[in-house]
């Protein structure tokens, strides 16, 4: 679903603001945010001091606060100040600390916490004993992570080959290495497929491709990593529910797979190979989940498209969009943003803004009121 690096990259208000006020800055007393992640009904963010905060739906313990109680405002996860990167799966969360340890919590029905069990956890549990984890991506019921040596590991459900280790394994409750390559740079997990970029700029995908989401020109599955085309200029990719988008070094944006809501940025049916989104050459990062992608340009503008049934595109409507639609007029969005049925994003001043579905309080504004434009989230001081 989303790809995060132990550097903080990923995305998603206490005060409801009109679009005209969307250029405001964060309250002086509020801790600045460095990265954010969005699950189906919960949100987590890391502040610049390394503290971790979560809020929203907590029915499987995905907030990590030791309870299963929903929270409409941010609550702190433990007392550690060493969190460096985070990603949220459908109903679980994984995060990396600066010492290279990896922790997961929440739903564990398919072993997606990687702790050797299928027991839900309401507080963070370590994924093994390794201290070399660099980045992690949490999908629906499987997760993948890269170590500092460039090796790639996955765990959880493998019913569609999404772990990349063939079909002999149905579920892996601890990490299994994907091949022997040592040059993986980033990884992203969708509902039942996975894609990853290598340091040589090649893009590889595997798992379910029933709507073409692997970009391989097939409608079946691939149980091991398979290269997408021959390009060597891919800089990053993101996996939605059944589609994928990726950015190239020349700033172009490409998508493929399911297109029922216009999530490919074009009209028409599904695509089994990459298709360019518009003609812009200024895209710097894209992130997607479910049926909605968002992307930021080098000028700091943020654009979203696809499914908008709950206002997750942030354009003040609930109209689905078949082409990138700008979120307000701000040019201060960073590459830290996250997407689900709600979206959140960080600005250059460290302020955090969320919009879309708020049924479980995942917008962090103390209410359960849906928002179709960005509203600021204030972390406790």
| Number of C-beta neighbours around residue 13 at 10 A | 23
DSSP 63-104: T-SSS---EEEEEE-SS---EEEEEE-SSEEEEEETTS-EEE
Predicted pLDDT of residue 42: 99
DSSP H or E run through 197: strand 193-198
Predicted pLDDT of residue 29: 61
Q: What is the residue whose two structure tokens read 């907590």?
A: 58
Nearest 5°: phi and psi at 59?
-65, -20
Predicted pLDDT of residue 11: 38
Predicted pLDDT of residue 97: 99
Question: Taking CA 74 as the corner, what is the angle to CA 189 and CA 117, rounded to the nearest 5 degrees?
Answer: 45
Sequence spans of domains, the chain? 4-377
Which residues touch 250 (CB under 8 Å, ≥6 apart)? 233, 281
Decide if 248 contacts 254 (C-beta within 8 A): yes
User: And the tokens for 96?
Assistant: 């990396």
Radius of gyration for the alpha carbons in the chain, expressed in angstroms and rounded: 18
Helix (H, G, I), strand (E, B) or coil at 206: strand
The residues pairing with 104 across neighbouring beta strands, listed in sequence order, are 94, 125
Question: Taking CA 41 as the corner, what is the angle to CA 38 and CA 44, rounded to the nearest 5 degrees?
Answer: 40
User: And the tokens for 42?
Assistant: 């919960």
Predicted pLDDT of residue 12: 36
Decide if 63 contacts 74 (C-beta within 8 A): no
Predicted pLDDT of residue 299: 99
Nearest 5°: phi and psi at 20?
-65, -20
Q: Give which of 213, 231, 191 is closest to 2, Cα–Cα.
A: 191
DSSP 280-337: ---EEEEEEETTEEEEEETTS-EEEEE--TTSTT-SSS---EEEEEE-SS---EEEEE
Decide if 113 contacts 142 (C-beta within 8 A): no
User: And the tokens for 52?
Assistant: 């971790």
CATH class of the domain at 4-377? mainly beta
Predicted pLDDT of residue 311: 99
Predicted pLDDT of residue 16: 33
Q: What is the pTM of this model?
A: 0.92
Q: What is the mean pLDDT of each run of 10 residues along the chain (381 residues)?
A: 42 35 48 98 99 99 99 99 99 99 99 99 99 99 99 99 98 99 99 99 99 98 99 99 99 99 96 98 98 99 99 99 98 98 99 99 98 98 81
User: And the tokens for 303?
Assistant: 């654009």
Compute CA 18 distance to the chain's CA centroid, rounded to the nearest angstrom.
26
Helix (H, G, I), strand (E, B) or coil at 20: helix
Which residues touch 206 (CB under 8 Å, ≥6 apart)? 161, 162, 164, 193, 194, 195, 214, 221, 222, 223, 224, 225, 226
Pairing mode, strands 152-157 and 171-177: antiparallel
Ramachandran area for residue 223 (φ above 0: left; ψ -120 to 50: alpha; else beta) = alpha
How many angstroms separate the CA atoms of 66 and 106, rounded?
10
């Amino acid at each position: 679903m989303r790809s995060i690096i132990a550097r903080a990259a990923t995305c998603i208000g206490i005060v409801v603001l009109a679009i005209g006020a969307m250029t405001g800055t964060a309250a002086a007393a509020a801790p600045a945010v460095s990265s954010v992640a969005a699950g189906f009904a919960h949100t987590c963010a890391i502040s610049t001091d390394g503290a971790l905060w979560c809020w929203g739906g907590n029915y499987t313990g995905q907030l990590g606060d030791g309870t299963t109680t929903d929270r409409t405002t941010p609550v702190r996860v433990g007392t550690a100040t060493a969190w460096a990167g985070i990603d949220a799966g459908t109903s679980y969360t994984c995060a990396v600390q600066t010492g290279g340890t990896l922790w997961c919590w929440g739903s564990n029905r398919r072993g997606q916490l990687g702790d050797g069990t299928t027991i839900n956890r309401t507080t963070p549990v370590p994924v093994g004993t390794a201290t070399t984890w660099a980045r992690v991506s949490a999908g629906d019921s499987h997760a993948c992570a890269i170590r500092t040596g460039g090796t790639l590991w996955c765990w959880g459900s493998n019913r569609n080959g999404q772990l990349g280790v063939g079909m002999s394994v149905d579920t892996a409750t601890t990490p299994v290495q994907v091949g022997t390559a040592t040059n993986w740079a980033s990884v992203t997990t969708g509902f039942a497929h996975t894609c990853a970029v290598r340091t040589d700029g090649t893009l590889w995908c595997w798992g379910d491709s029933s709507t073409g989401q692997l970009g391989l020109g097939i409608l079946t599955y691939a149980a091991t990593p398979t290269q997408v085309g021959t390009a060597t200029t891919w800089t990053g990719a993101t996996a939605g529910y059944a589609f994928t988008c990726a950015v190239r070094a020349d700033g172009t944006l490409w998508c493929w797979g399911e297109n029922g809501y216009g999530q490919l940025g074009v009209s028409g049916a599904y695509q089994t190979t990459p298709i360019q989104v518009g003609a812009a050459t200024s895209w710097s990062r894209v992130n997607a989940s479910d049926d909605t992608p968002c992307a930021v340009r080098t000028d700091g503008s943020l654009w979203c498209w696809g499914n908008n049934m709950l206002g997750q595109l942030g354009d003040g409507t609930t109209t689905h969009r078949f082409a990138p639609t700008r979120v307000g007029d701000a040019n201060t969005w960073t590459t830290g943003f996250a997407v689900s049925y709600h979206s959140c994003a960080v600005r250059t001043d460290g302020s955090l803004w969320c919009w879309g579905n708020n049924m479980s309080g995942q917008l962090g504004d103390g209410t359960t009121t849906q928002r179709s434009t960005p509203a600021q989230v204030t972390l406790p001081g």
